[in-house]
A and B are shown apart, each in its own frame.
Chain A
Amino acid sequence: MRLSRRTLLAAAAATLPAVRARAAEPIMAGVSGPLTGPNAQYGAQWKRGFDLALDGINGAGGVKGRPIEYVFEDSQSDPRQSVAVAQKLVADPRIIIELGDFASPASMAASPIYQRAKLVQFGFTNSHPDFTKGGDHMWSNSTSQAEEQPNLAGYAAKLGFKRPALLHLNTDWGRTAKDAFVAAAPGLGMQVVDVEGYLAAEQDFRPTLVRARDSKPDGLVLLSYYADGALISRQARDTGVKLPILAGTSNYSPKFIELGGQGVEGDWVMSTFFPGDPRPEVQDFVTRYRKKYDQEPDSFSAGAYDTMVLFSLLCAQFGTTREAMQAGLLAIKDVPSVIYGRVTFDPATRRVLGANYKLLQVKDQKFMVWDGTPPAAG
């Protein structure tokens, strides 16, 4: 074969994509979360949120021509595995931020490793008040219970509750939420008449509800996740408890209505975002989510989406090193967000304040913004 100028050129052109690929090496985030095991459903929601955010970011050319990618390491939200995952992520120089884990025991067991490696651990579902105290590299945009519960209590008061009974998941999350609600109640003229902490894997709430009913409350407040919230509300109606029910933000999910059916009709749910919210970032998120997954988003997928958007902005504004992430989180301001209006971190607590709280009501098996009609006397 004779080497012509054309073949040489063709050969040169063939090597070009390789060169371009190196220039467009992906920016990597490491995710530690549950893909299998009892919490796998939340990991699946995360993935949906992440992927949707990345469709938008990488579809628009990524960050300075580089696409953003993530490696999702399954920890089953188990501390033994999350520490191994942490060592793995810390040792991988491509990874400049870590997202997760899901539950506090798994996240906080891994915190010392991330802190030592100066890799930001961004626990976007970790509302445990001590999570961000693990070190100055622990950050969270999870809504703070200290802020959320007074809002929920405020809505309870608006609904006319004077003597609410409180049902909460007896985990670190549920306990923090309960304590914050109970603390906020007296200032709003409410007296919490009964507090029931139920166990994590519980499905049968009938005796708990009878106990709550016997304390003669005028409303039920649920600090639960959507799956147990739906079960409680259904069983309340079956046990003849007709009290108005108000549920916290983690109940906002299409699954709440799917699993609860007629049993959640008329329930009030506080939410940080609502698909009907006219803000463009919400509308963009919701319409694209529906189109891609043929289902409604929930607060877990919204949290994951927000987090990935935040990560892309950190990269765009502050650079793509581990140090840049830490510096960026200290400095970044007014990040657009589905859950918050605008995100700015408090450098002292490394958390975000100022989520939007809306009160929704289930009407005809749909979430609607509450129209202000007080509950009928139960």
Chain B
Amino acid sequence: MGSWLDYTINGLIIGNIYALVAVGLALIFGVSNLINFAQGSVYAVGAYIGWTCFTYLHTPLAVTALIVVVACAGLGVAIERIGLRPLAGAARIAPLLATIGISLVLDQLLQIVFTPDPRALTSPLPNWRISVGGGTIGALDLLIAATGIVSAAVLYGFLRFTKLGWAVRATAQDRDAARQMGVNTDAVNMTVFAIASALGGLSGLLVGMYFNHIDPAMGFQATLKGVVAQVIGGMGNVPGAIFGSLLLGLTESYGVAIFGSSYRNLFSFALLLLILVLRPNGLFASARSTPPEPMTGSFVTPNRPVRVPRWAIVAAVVIAAAVPLIPAIPYVLQVLTNAWLFAMLAISLTLVAGTLGQISLGHASLLLIGAYASALFALDSHWPVWASIPAAGIVTALLGTALIAPSFRLRSHYVSIATLGIGEIVGLVILNWESLTRGPMGVTNIPPLQVGNIELDNPRAAYWITLGILVLLAMMQTRLLRSHLGRIFRAIRDDDVAARAHGISLGRYKAIAFAFGGFAAGISGGIAAHQYSYINNETFTSTVSISALTMVILGGMGNVLGAILGAVALTALPEMFRGTAEYRMLIYGVALLLLVRFRPQGILGTT
């Protein structure tokens, strides 16, 4: 019994910590309908500002906290003004992508300025502790709890009782109407970003002190947990975010208690999915509340796509096929082979995200499923590689569709978060299902690509195979989009209520799209497994999902050719900046921001 008290307390302590990030995310989402992926980076910046103050200025905690709050508020204003406001008229997806770019840039800047080494951020608070159960609670734990509760209370009061607060809520409900009533929505947005970033920075400082550990990569995990927590509480709901965080902390703690540490995040994401399916507006939303999202055209702004003449496409394919004939360096072939593999993932994602309007943030899990399926068919069932790869495509199509099926009734952001959760769950199941997947040791000695007894392990053969399969998949998808299926997909994307009124069964058509997408992604994962000869649960991580989404948006949502172009561009860009070593991801981030800024509908436009 005593242990359960300890688990409860430990759950509340870590929940407390998640709450700090979740509140900032909830505030921004409530006003801008935007999942701010840069929130975690602001949090890391806050931690490093705090470290600098402690180390060089020797300021006391109160002064340090004030400096962090002011500096991060300024950073928030800059993010809104420079990064997001210019995108106001663009596709709704553009700001999301911009926050990903900003997050990349901030993380890389931190790493360059402060080196990637973790640092200690030692708490200057007195070191007294109270015994509770078997463990203890310190001054810092209480300070963190107080910060979370006070900031939520202050925000609540601000939103309810002040004039600016009304303006914020009015903007959240209907930006255009608010503007008609004389609300300066830009100022409102800026205020919200300032407040959320100030809070984010302060949480970074406190959490850094709690763990006595800060590093430039600390933001991503924080964002992930914050997003989960605020979904549980209800997207955009500030008190709900605190409750959701505590519930998340408790779930993790009890999950570890019952099943062990290796299952920890499995429970957080399972809870997330459960809540999404049962109560998509979060535990705190009242049944009557209007959906937080307009029903139609949620992400993709219609525009006129660039028409690429057929002869140009044929010429491009011929040129691509001829590349290995020039005595090129194999390095270029390898980079392009990677690009074709990524392009298969991208056309899969552009189908579900662009054509169908279901933004997936967990697409890398399809690669994992495909890679494991093909590797295990080849090794454990002794199938030849030419059979195991298509089989992997089919397995991925079935399994991927089955996993996403319960979330078919969700819309827009909720789909993204559900897929994010599913993606993490797939990785954790692979880690823990040792009898099938060999757990963390991964699968070794995967046979290379071969037909019969001829090993196709030279870069040229791999290049031609991947290019050929890609062209085939792309042609199939183009054909699909021209058929009545393509029109139905777009109808579901543009207005699912109208589509349903026309007698379209949403679930069935979503399943077709996800199955087709899963097949392409599974093939890509399968080929990769045979190329690498070794895979484990970390071979395709959530950063791959984010890159794939970036490619799709860059090429133009729903645009098959655009997805391929995006994949080539974003695989080649970091390679081109290779000479700049530590700076290359920074340059990549800046390039991404510029692209989003000047061509938010993507290079080839949405279709």
Contact = CB atoms under 8 A, between A and B. Distances in A.
Interface of A: 35-38, 40-41, 43-45, 72-74, 76, 79-81, 83-84, 86-88, 90-91, 103-105, 108-109, 111-113, 116, 128, 130, 133-134, 167, 170-172, 174-176, 196-208, 210-211, 213-214, 227, 230-231, 234, 238-240, 255, 258-263
Interface string B511-553: 0000000000000000010011111101100000000000000
B504 interface: no
Interface in B1-39: 3, 6-7, 10-11, 13-14, 17
Contact of A214 (B3, B221, B582): B3
A203 B118 contact: no
A128 B534 CA distance: 11
B338 interface: yes
Contacts of B3: 210, 214
A257 to B, nearest CB: 9
B80 interface: no
Contacts of A90: 330
Contacts of A207: 7, 10-11, 252-254, 256-257, 261, 264
A91 B7 contact: no
Contacts of A80: 338, 341-342, 528
B261 A200 contact: no
B338 A109 contact: no
B442 A240 contact: no
Interface string B262-288: 101100000000000000000000000
A109 B108 CA distance: 26
B581 A206 contact: no
Interface in B321-336: 329-331, 333-335
Given A87-B333, A171-B538, A206-B10, A197 B261 contact: yes
Interface stretch (B207-215, B227-235, B350-358, B398-406): B207-215
B115 interface: yes
Contacts of A204: 10, 14, 17, 252
A109 B117 CA distance: 26
A208 B256 CA distance: 6
Contact of A197 (B129, B260, B531): B260
Contacts of B291: none
Contact of A239 (B134, B212, B221, B457): B134
Given A35-B582, A83-B338, A239 B261 contact: no
Contacts of A111: 533-534
Interface string B451-465: 000000111000000
Interface string B217-231: 100010000000000
Contact of A74 (B127, B253, B442, B581): B581
Contacts of A197: 260-262, 440
A208 B440 contact: no
Given A87-B333, A208-B261, A259-B120, A240 B131 contact: yes
Contacts of B257: 207, 210-211
B534 A108 contact: yes
Interface string B305-341: 0000000000000000000000001110111001001
Contacts of A227: 118, 213, 215
A36 B533 contact: no
Contacts of B338: 80, 83-84
B459 A87 contact: yes
B444 A108 contact: yes
Given A83-B334, A111-B533, A103 B538 contact: yes
B148 interface: no
B331 A91 contact: yes
B186 interface: no
B49 to A, nearest CB: 19
Contacts of A260: 212
A104 to B, nearest CB: 7
B505 interface: no
A172 B536 contact: yes
A75 to B, nearest CB: 10
B118 A41 contact: yes
B135 A206 contact: yes
A72 B581 contact: yes
B261 A109 contact: no
Given A109-B532, A171-B538, A231 B261 contact: no
Contact of A35 (B118, B120, B532, B581): B581
B441 interface: yes
Contacts of A262: 127
B439 A199 contact: no
Contact of B440 (A41, A76, A171): A171
A198 B265 CA distance: 10
Given A84-B338, A112-B533, 10 more contacts: A37-B585, A44-B117, A83-B531, A84-B334, A87-B329, A134-B533, A197-B440, A255-B118, A260-B212, A261-B212
A88 B331 contact: yes
Contacts of A113: 334
- Report which residue of B213, B459, B531 has the largest number of chain A beta carbons within 10 angstroms of its beta carbon: B213
Contact of B213 (A172, A230, A238): A230
B253 A170 contact: no
12 contacts: A41-B116, A83-B338, A87-B330, A108-B534, A133-B445, A170-B440, A175-B440, A176-B441, A204-B14, A207-B7, A211-B261, A255-B117
Nearest to A210: B6
B168 interface: no
A131 to B, nearest CB: 9
Contact of B118 (A73, A134, A259): A259
B138 interface: yes
Nearest to A204: B14
A261 B213 contact: no
Contact of B217 (A38, A130, A174, A234): A38
Nearest to B4: A210
B439 A175 contact: yes
A74 B117 contact: no
Contacts of A88: 329, 331, 334
B431 interface: yes
A167 B261 CA distance: 9
Given A83-B531, A199-B265, A105 B213 contact: no
For the complex of A and B, list the 8 residue pairs with the smallest distance between their C-beta atoms, beginning with the closest: A109-B532, A40-B116, A108-B534, A206-B10, A87-B334, A207-B256, A88-B331, A239-B135
A174 B441 CA distance: 9
A307 to B, nearest CB: 19
Contact of A170 (B129, B212, B334, B431): B431
Contacts of B216: 40
Interface in B92-150: 108, 111, 115-120, 122, 127, 129, 131, 134-136, 138
B116 A44 contact: yes
A84 B536 contact: no
A238 B261 contact: no
Contact of A105 (B459, B536, B574): B536
A240 B135 contact: yes
A198 B261 contact: yes
Contacts of B116: 40-41, 43-44
A175 B532 contact: no
B7 to A, nearest CB: 6
A233 to B, nearest CB: 11
- Report which residue of A80, A199, A203 has the largest number of chain B beta carbons within 10 angstroms of its beta carbon: A80
A206 B13 contact: yes
Contacts of A109: 531-535, 539
- Report which residue of A84, A211, A260 has the largest number of chain B beta carbons within 10 angstroms of its beta carbon: A84
A175 B536 CA distance: 13
